Amino acid sequence: MIRTVFSLCCALAANFALGQSHDIAMKFQGASKYPARIAYEVLNFDEVSITAGYIDVQDEHTVYEIAVDVGERFAVQIYEDANGNSKLDRGLFTQPLEKYAFSNDAWQALSKPEVDEMLVQRTGVKTFLTFTLKSVSDF
């Protein structure tokens, strides 16, 4: 009995020490068309990538969740992979040709905003974010 209790305590302590997963719930508005393939990257406050992936978005109303171990503040950057080639397509002057967005509604015309502008505060067990995809010509 004591071994069982000890084992359970060790398992709980290990789970806590390894970090706890946090849910980021996201909605994506303004895609060129739906369904849309959205690429995402979650960054820590030092702009180091925590995780990245793709979500097949059916419409602008559905909430999509990813589980990730984030700190108190984090940022998310996304783009619409309109042609499905798994990269952000760029034009002659390196401007993005596909729609994109950043957490905290950060927006910089013709360039990526600073990470401080994109940071959001982690809330509870789930943080809700809504992204509005824009093209480089949107000001």
Given a cut of 50, is residue 14 above it in pLDDT? Answer: no
Dist. CA 94–CA 137, nearest whole Å: 13
Which region among 8-17, 20-29, 95-104 has the lowest average model confidence (pLDDT)? 8-17
What DSSP string describes 20-82? --EEEEEEEE--SSSSEEEEEEEEETTS-EEEEEEEEE--SS--EEEEE---SEEEEEEEE-T
What token pair was written down for 31?
A: 């895609």
Q: What length does the chain have?
A: 139
pLDDT tens string 74-132: 999 999 999 999 999 998 888 899 999 999 999 887 778 999 999 999 999 999 999 99
pLDDT at 95: 87
**Which domains does the chain possess?**
20-132 (2.60.40)
A 10 A CB-CB count for 36 gives: 20
3-state secondary structure of 4: helix
pLDDT at 138 > cutoff 70: yes
49-70 confidence digits (pLDDT tens): 999 999 999 999 999 999 999 9
- pLDDT at residue 119, rounded to an integer: 98
Average pLDDT, the chain: 87
Mean pLDDT confidence for 4-33? 67
Strands 126-132 and 22-29 come out as parallel
The DSSP 8-state label assigned to residue 92 in this structure reads: T
